[in-house]
Amino acid sequence: MIHDDGYNNDAHIHNFLHKPPPLPPLSHRFNSDLLTKIFPMACSSSALRFFSSASVKVSSNSKSVHLSSSSSKSLVPSNLTNPFLSQTLRNNLTTTNYNFSSLPKYSFTLKSQANPSLDSRPDKVQELCVYEINERDRGSPAYLRLSLKFVNSLGDLVPFTNKLYTGDLEKRIGITAGICILVQHKKEKKGDRYEAIYSFYFGEYGHIAVQGPYLTYEDSYLAVTGGSGIFKGVSGEVKLQQLVFPFKIFYTFYLKGINELPEELLGTPVKPTPAVEPTPAAMACHPYATILNYTD
C-alpha cells in the first residue's frame, strides 16, 4: 500500500522482517529489557530463559569474569521469527566477557590490625595498695532513707567521698567519690550488702573506676571497669578490706593493661589494722607528702 505522502508501508515491513536492526555493543550488560526494546514484536519477558548453570572463570591479568552459559538453556528467546537474528544472538550471547576493573573496590581489616595497640597492651598484673580514710571533715557519708523505714532497707542510697592515701600512709593521693545502693540488710551479720559505683582519683595521674558489691561485714571484691590518664584501658579487680566501718578501708588493686606504675604510688604498704593513721605531714598535705596536684 502506498500512502499519499509517498511512504511505502509494504517495503518497510519487508525490510524489518528480512534485515535485522543493528545490535547494541557487547560491552553492554545483557538483560530482558534491552531485547524488548530492540525486538518488541519478537520477544517478551515470558520468552526469555534464565541460566540453569554457568561456569565462572576469573582472570588475574585482565581482572575480568568470564561467564559461559549452559548449552541446555539459551538466553535467546525461543520464538524469534527471524532466523538471522536468532543465529546472531546465539553466537554473540553464548560467551560474554564482563570487565569489573572499574567497579569500586572494598577492603576489610580485622579489628586487631586496625588498632595494634589493643594487642600490645601489657598483660602483667600490678598490685597497688591505698587507704581510704574518712576524717569526718567532708560531710560524708550522706544516708538517704528512700525506703522510708527505720531499718536499713532496699532502695536506701549512700553518696560518699573520702580521702585517699598511699599504702605506706606517707602521701596524700586524692579522694574517692561515688554512691552505694543498699541491696540487703543482713541482720544476723549485723551489716549490709551494697552495690557500689565509685572512682579513685589520683591527681594528675588520672582515676580508676570500680563497681561491685560492698559488704560491711566481710571482705569483698569489685571489678575495675576503666580509668583515665595513666590508668586508661585498665582492667582487673580490687579487694576491699573493711577496717572500721565506715571510716577506714584498705584496698588492694590487681591491675593489668597499663604501663608500669609510678614509684611514688608503690611504697611498702602498712599492715592494715583498725589503728592505722596517715603521717601528720600527709594529713596536713605538705608538698613533700602529696602527689603532684592531688585531688581534694
Enter the pTM of the model: 0.62
Neighbours of 208 (CB within 10 A): 28
Residues 167, 22 share a domain: no
CA-wise closest residue to 10 among 22, 19, 1, 18: 1
Q: Would residue 110 count as lying in a domain?
A: no
Range of lowest pLDDT (14-18, 180-184, 196-200): 14-18
Residue 49: pLDDT band with limits 50, 70, 90 = very low
Residues 159, 249, single domain; the answer is yes
Establish if 108 belongs to a structural domain.
no
Domain containing 157 — which CATH number? 2.40.480.10
Q: If you write DSSP's letter for every residue of 140-160 in order, what string do you get?
A: ----B-TT--SS--TT-EEEE
Distance CA 223, CA 209 (A): 9
Question: Is 212 domain-assigned?
Answer: yes
pLDDT of 119-130, one tens digit each?
A: 577 889 999 999
Residue 27 and residue 41: Cα distance in Å, rounded?
A: 24
- Cell numbers describing residue 94: 553464548
**Domain assignment present for 273:** yes
The answer to whether residues 144 and 269 belong to one domain is: yes
Q: 191: Cβ–Cβ under 8 A, 6 or more apart, which residues?
A: 215, 216, 217, 218, 245
In sequence order, which residues have a C-beta less than 8 Å from that of residue 294 and are 6 or more positions away?
A: 172, 173, 174, 202, 203, 285
For 7-32, how does the pLDDT look when each residue is reduced to its tens digit (9 = 90+)?
455 555 555 555 555 555 554 444 54
Domains contained in the chain, number = 2
Host domain of residue 43: 9-99
Residues 32 and 84 in one domain: yes
User: Quick one: DSSP state of residue 112?
Assistant: H
Does residue 36 sit in the same domain as residue 170? no
Of 250, 166, 238, give the one whose Cα is nearest residue 202. Answer: 166
User: Domain check: are 130 and 276 in the same one?
Assistant: yes
Domain co-membership, 81 together with 185: no
